[in-house]
A = this chain, B = another copy of it.
Amino acid sequence: MDDVRTRAGDVIPSEVPSRAPDGAEHGRKRVVIEAVTPSVDGGRFAAKRTTGEEVQVEADVFADGHDVLAGVVLVRGPGDQEAREVPLELVENDRWAARFTVDRIGRWTFRVAGWVDHLETWRQGTRKKVAAGQDVRVELEVGARYADEAAEAAGAAPVARQLADVAHRLRHVDPDGVAALLDDDAVAVLLRQAMPRHHVTTTDELPLVVDPPLARFSTWYELFPRSTSEEPGRHGTFADVVARLPYVADMGFDVLYLPPVHPIGRSFRKGPNNAPVAGPDDPGSPWAIGAEEGGHDAILPALGTEADFRDLVAKARELGLEVAMDIAFQCAPDHPWVREHPTWFRWRPDGTVQYAENPPKKYQDIYPIEFETPDWKELWDALLGVFLHWIDAGVRVFRVDNPHTKPFPFWEWVIGTIKADHPEVLFLAEAFTRPKVMHRLAKLGFSQSYTYFAWRNGRDELREYFTELSQSPSREYFRPNVWPNTPDILTEYLQHGGRPAFVNRVVLAATLSASYGIYGPAFELGEHVAREPGSEEYLDSEKYQIRHWDLDQPGSLRPVIARLNRIRRENPALQHDWSLRFHDTDNPALLCYSKSSADGRNVIMAVVNLDPHNPQSGFVHLDLSALGVGDGPFELEDLFAGGRYTWQGPTNYVALDPWGTSAHVLRVVRPSGAAVS
């Protein structure tokens, strides 16, 4: 009979279930283990954690009848030959839990094991009989035989002697001493540890990918290197970016993301504002990758050399910044691969290569890669090689452009292959598409994912979306990274909301999500003019032309952003997503929420006026237990706008003004030791 092993150590029966799918013991394994968490699609994908986090494994564990059960979680870290055992404890209603801390990056696994604990069943039953005044002489002999069995299993170990002594005491205990002997914790522990386990049910291994903390808590800044020159009109270089590093680091960012730095195609190059024809000096879009100078593993000469790039990566790291490289797997018509590997592209009957199109729109400057090519293995190797090339150059973070337009099996393979050797490398999925597609990419290995944050502006939609992100089971694999703007996304809210809109959006991003990013200097300088009405494209977008930015212009949000990022660094509550809780507000223009650190000692509450045009006020109705405070007065320190408040009880009044204090970011000041319930 065919049997297929599946996720929970269980067996899918064929038409007639086999009686012995895993040997002669099958029929004696009375314990069932179900609904193990964390697990993603039953173990098909890995749950995600970062080093230092505590993992809580839970499972439904039960058996027939009323015997006492016991169980453990068997944990293996990367490279561990032996699994470590963590005891399961009953939570309630057949749900059991165990906790352990993951202290190394890499791929961990765990499995759950459970068995009938005859020894404890005997001990509890006998104790009840003693309490009821029943004769337990036979029970004591039963117990003595358990001790005999444990002693025999211990063999020559010193504990065998102690176990033999327990057996002797059980056989010769005075009737008045039976209760004390049964209640003797030392005896119970001795027996429990030595007793052989019989008929143990064990699940299959479930995977857990442990990333560096940056995967959980990261603050991104995107800039176009070619726009970093101090002289207007000159093409920026990696050296200019190096000069810009302190500006970025001082604002408190820890990831510097650069659009593609490769040679840019010349055929069908686009001009400013996506004009169909470029002028002779137009630089083209960095995403039209590849020219005679090279492809995905080359550097645009105007930016510098690969040595310059390596220097930038190293200097950035000295300032606490990881350089995130853009990976956009598509080719300009001049890309060397078009000539060298024609089968990696789709050819039309007229002998041309199929360019990107979304009928009736045409993008003749971009050739998509034909992943259905029979030569897909060579193609995959080449694409893997692109990642490895830049990892060799020092890159540890990749922002992947439109991963949802390349096959899912490729991403699972390439990310898995890279992380097997380089578990420290992180991948951000730039997929603004349908939810199931975004979730699949996250499941199959992307460390972080872009979100719909840019288009969520109202109180209820923000609350609903961030509750889903932080509380639904998808949080096991989908780590959000929220961006108020990107080079492709200048929202209506930013176009028309003035400076308060920019402040609101960055306060929300920085405090709702442990990872966020901005596209600068456009963001901090309040760039807000769209190419045309109804468009989310920037006018004179850096995607198609070099810009010169006056970083010192009055009104720059640089100090605001620096303050927010300092608050994030100083308050562990803001460095995780899962503790997010929303509090009710009477006024729909006010959003109120809080986060707390894992130990409950650091609690941050934010109140934001979502209306960039008008002062708004109203009552907030707090979930006091989420704040770790009782009914009495409690202090709040505004880390963002300054000031101190004393609030009491669940209902408190807030007034916010877009041109004054438009948001509170409040630290809850509680007696030390008080924690969130």
Instruction: Give A contacts to B, CB under 8 Å.
Output: 4-8, 10, 12-13, 15-20, 26-30, 32, 34, 41-44, 60, 62-66, 93-94, 107, 116, 124-126, 128-129, 131-132, 134, 138, 141-142, 145, 198-199, 204, 348-350, 352, 357-360, 371-372, 374, 376-377, 380, 404-410, 412-413, 416-417, 420, 434-437, 440
A34 — which chain B residues lie within 8 A by C-beta? 41, 436, 440
> What residue of chain B has the Cβ atom nearest to residue A376's Cβ?
B27
In the complex, are the beta carbons of B377 and A19 less than 8 A apart? yes
In the complex, are the beta carbons of A27 and B380 less than 8 A apart? yes
In the complex, are the beta carbons of B17 and A128 less than 8 A apart? no
> How far does the Cβ of A603 sit from chain B's closest Cβ, in whole Å?
34
Majority DSSP secondary structure for residues of A touching B: mixed
In the complex, are the beta carbons of A407 and B15 less than 8 A apart? no
> How far does the Cβ of A422 sit from chain B's closest Cβ, in whole Å?
12
- Contacts A30-B371, A94-B437, A377-B19; A66 near B407 (Cβ below 8 A): no
* List of 8 A-B pairs having minimum Cβ-Cβ separation, nearest first: A132-B360, A128-B359, A17-B416, A27-B376, A141-B349, A16-B420, A125-B359, A30-B407
In the complex, are the beta carbons of B16 and A417 less than 8 A apart? yes
Partner of A436, one of B60, B64, B371: B60
A16 — which chain B residues lie within 8 A by C-beta? 416-417, 420
Partner of A349, one of B4, B29, B145: B145
> How far does the Cβ of A38 sit from chain B's closest Cβ, in whole Å?
15
Partner of A134, one of B66, B350, B360, B406: B360
> How far does the Cβ of A5 sit from chain B's closest Cβ, in whole Å?
7
User: What separation, in Å, do the CA atoms of A64 and B406 have in the docked complex?
Assistant: 6
> Can you name 4 extra interface pairs (CB under 8 A) apart from A7-B7, A8-B44, A13-B412?
A4-B204, A60-B436, A64-B437, A138-B350
> What residue of chain B has the Cβ atom nearest to residue A126's Cβ?
B359
> How far does the Cβ of A415 sit from chain B's closest Cβ, in whole Å?
9
In the complex, are the beta carbons of A410 and B360 less than 8 A apart? no
> How far does the Cβ of A355 sit from chain B's closest Cβ, in whole Å?
12
In the complex, are the beta carbons of A10 and B44 less than 8 A apart? yes
In the complex, are the beta carbons of A377 and B4 less than 8 A apart? no
User: What separation, in Å, do the CA atoms of A131 and B199 have in the docked complex?
Assistant: 70
Partner of A6, one of B7, B19, B65, B440: B7
A64 — which chain B residues lie within 8 A by C-beta? 371, 404-408, 437
A377 — which chain B residues lie within 8 A by C-beta? 19-20, 27
Partner of A62, one of B145, B350, B380, B436: B436
